[in-house]
Amino acid sequence: MQHRRHQSQSHVFPRRLTTPGGAGAIIVSEPKRGKKRGSYTCGRCGLPKKGHSCYVSITTDTNSPITSTPTHAPDSSVAVSATRPPPTRHFRRALSFDEDVGDVNGGFPEDEDDLDLGDPVADPESGRFPAGCLWEILRRLPPAGLLAAASVCKGWRETAKRLWRAAEELRLRVPARAQVGLVGSVLQKCPGIVRLSLRMESDVDATMLACIAFSCPNLESMEILKSDTAINRITGDELGRFVVDKRCLKSLKMEGCSNLGGFVLCSSSLSTLWLSDLYSLSKTVFNCPNLNEISLEFSCQENDSTDLATMVDGLGRNCPRLQNIHIASVRLSHSVVLALTAAQLRWLRMLSLVLGSEITDASVAAIASSNPNLELLDLSGSSISDSGIGMICNVFPETLSRLLLALCPNITSSGIQFATAQLPLLELMDCGMTICDPNSQNPIPDESSDSELKHFSNTKLHLIHQKLIIKHNRLKKLSLWGCSGLDALYLNCPALNDLNLNSCKNLHPERLLLQCPTLESVHASGCQELLIGTIEHQVSDDFSAMENLLPCKRLADGSKRVRVPHFLSAQSYDDDKKQRRVERRQCNVLVN
């Protein structure tokens, strides 16, 4: 099931410039399966938001503009000097082949005085642009366009060459029929590359690594993504050699790592490591003392012989500075957690151990005792129960802002509610597929047929007709996707931006109350029509209008009491501070 997030465009001030990155990106995150540890991705560059400074907004100012004043004798030189980019313009030094991602092209801070690009005055007759303009135009082209432009005439070729040389970042899509030579010839043009991202549609092996190692002396960040059909043949030895050789490599991300087989990574510069589709790793050595962030996703193939406990043990010993850990594997278990907690990683802030059904409440206890300062905890797919949540709320209320417990069949709405009540800093809560109707089609470990309904123990009966009442001042994103056992929901969250109710099939339209004025998106695919209608109605009215739907009574002291739906206990409607009429942003209800 796809978990979709759509960045809605808010068209209020400030104006957005047309960034070459284009309109809001669609962030598709796989639900608890290969999801990057709770780090929701930046809409512009696709990297996780946590701890990243988006390259799209790098500002370098090495230029002092020459202000031109028309009081001088107007001649062509005035036009030229005015073409220098003003210092507030963002210099972006990236070239992108990836058409989807958009084309972020290089700016060039050097002085252009001595460059002769021919007649500096624009001459519509012969199609010439002033020097700075041509640069700015070509820099907005995707690399294929840039190559075409370089073939137009000498002047354009010169400018294109400079753009290539200035490029610091390159994103390249390598088509299916391409050879390493393609990458090689491109990399030759831009020796200054610091960040490289390759989307492979053809197979990739060590020759590619060698090519990159040779062509990019300053490489700090490398990412190899792959399409479904491409095969990544790089072995652990080859990868290890690459890492050792690249002395300034800080970030390495690679998909399709099923042929690694085991590796020894030695690097004092490496701080970010993401490997996915791992399978049957024999020996793993992480000799990376400055490793800050690691993400290891194992493929779901059977018979994976990786010894996770030993691996994690080694990781804990050799990488004391780890702050963010994400491991996704069905073979995660309590013993693996113990190996991790034994390492006492004092800087650990984000811990994500997903898909491990053998992770239990005892694991939570271990985590809580050795890492009390977590900001993100993701135990999706585990067997923890409400008492595990209790432990979490006991230990982490002062730091935890993101809690993800999707696909945890043993937690109930009381647990969820407890968490939202006890964790004041919570901004993101994911409880997808937790409160599930056991009779539904959704795959749950304990599936039963209708006839056995009567024989359900109490623990299962409560899974239907669940209700949730959540009041939280800081919660920004809440996901209840797939909670088919949920039939009533009351949300009073003044900061909530995103609500996911996909497949909440049994949520009753008359038992839904959303009092979240800053809500921007509600996902409601798979819900009843009537529910969708109710949601739309509730998010489009502003507060006072909605208040009028509910019976209310004015008391002698002038205050108002609003009667909320029967399933809620009587509460005073304390939103009398509506003299501050917050202008409601448009909220999108997404159904697809």
Partner 1 sequence: MSSSKSNKIVKLESSDNKTFEVEEAVAVQSETLKNMVDDGCANDTIPLPNVNGKILEMVLGWCKKHVDETVTGDELNKYEADFLDLDQADLYGLLMAANFLNVKGLLDRVLQRVADMIKGKKPEEIRRIFNIKNDFTPEEEEEIRLENAWAFD
Residues at the interface with partner 1 (CB under 8 A): 10-12, 15, 17-18, 20, 67-71, 74, 78-79, 82-83, 86, 89, 122, 124-130, 132-133, 136-138, 140-145, 147-154, 156-157, 175, 177-178, 182, 185
Backbone angles phi, psi at 523, to 5 degrees: -95, 125
330 close to 306: Cβ distance less than 8 angstroms = no
Q: How far apart are CA 54 and CA 220, in angstroms?
A: 15
Nearest-approach distance from CB 274 to partner 1, in angstroms: 29
Shortest spacing between CB 496 and partner 1, in angstroms: 23
Select from 116, 112, 156, 115 the least CA-distant residue to 138.
156
* Structure-derived torsion over alpha carbons of residues 95, 98, 99, 104, reported in degrees to the nearest 10: -30
Closest contact distance (angstroms) between CB of 160 and partner 1 is: 11
CB of 124 to partner 1, least distance (A): 4
Direct distance between the N- and C-terminal alpha carbons of the chain, in angstroms, rounded to an integer: 12
CB of residue 84 vs partner 1: minimum separation in angstroms?
10
Measured from the CB atom, is 20 or 482 closer to partner 1? 20
Three-state DSSP class for 533?
helix
Measured CA angle at 305 (ends 303, 306), to 5 deg:
135
C-alpha distances in Å from residue 581, one per residue of 358, 526, 578: 50, 33, 5
Our CB check for partner 1 shows the closer of 203 and 304 to be 203
Identity of the residue, 141 or 393, whose beta carbon is nearer to partner 1 in the bound complex: 141
Residue 10 or 559 having the CB closest to partner 1: 10
CB 507 → partner 1: shortest distance, Å? 32
Q: How far is the CB of 158 from partner 1 (least distance, A)?
A: 11
CB of 125 to partner 1, least distance (A): 7
Q: Which is nearer to partner 1, 16 or 581 (CB)?
A: 16
Nearer to partner 1, 185 or 473 (CB): 185
Between 9 and 459, CB nearer to partner 1: 9
Q: Is 36 helix (H, G, I), strand (E, B) or coil?
A: coil
Other Cβ atoms within 10 Å of 258 Cβ, number: 17
Nearer to partner 1, 105 or 502 (CB): 105
Cα–Cα nearest to 96, from 170, 201, 149: 170
User: Smallest distance from the beta carbon of 271 to partner 1, in angstroms?
Assistant: 34
* DSSP sequence for 367-380: HHHH-TT-SEEE-T
Among 272, 326, 270, smallest CA distance to 29 is for 326
Closest CA to 501 of 520, 518, 486, 516: 486
Please tell me the distance from the alpha carbon of residue 114 to that of residue 101, in angstroms, as a whole number: 34
348 burial via Cβ count (<10 Å: 0-12, 13-18, 19+): buried
Residue 138 CB, nearest approach to partner 1 (Å): 8
E strand spans, 160-310: 169-174, 195-200, 221-226, 251-254, 263-266, 272-278, 284-287, 293-298
Q: Which is nearer to partner 1, 180 or 421 (CB)?
A: 180
Under 8 Å between Cβ of 520 and 587: yes
By beta-carbon proximity to partner 1, the closer residue of 149 and 339 is: 149
Q: Choose between 145 and 261: whose C-beta lies nearer to partner 1.
A: 145
* Cβ pair 91, 109 in contact under 8 A: yes
CB closer to partner 1, 78 vs 495? 78
Query: E-strand spans in 97-177?
Result: 169-174
Report the C-alpha gap between 10 and 584 in whole angstroms.
11
For the CB of residue 198, give the shortest distance to partner 1 in the complex, in Å: 15
- Please state, in angstroms and rounded to a whole number, the distance separating the CA atoms of residues 70 and 156: 29
Amino acid letter, residue 506 = N
b/e 162-185 (16+ beta carbons within 10 angstroms → b): bbbebbbbbbbbbeeeeebeebbe
- C-alpha distances in Å from residue 313, one per residue of 297, 310, 341: 17, 5, 9
Residue 137: CB minimum distance to partner 1, A: 5
- Is the Cβ of residue 91 or residue 129 nearer to partner 1 in the bound state? 129
Q: How far is the CB of 444 from partner 1 (least distance, A)?
A: 45
- 340, 325 contact by CB (below 8 A): yes
- 471 within 8 A of 519, measured Cβ to Cβ: no
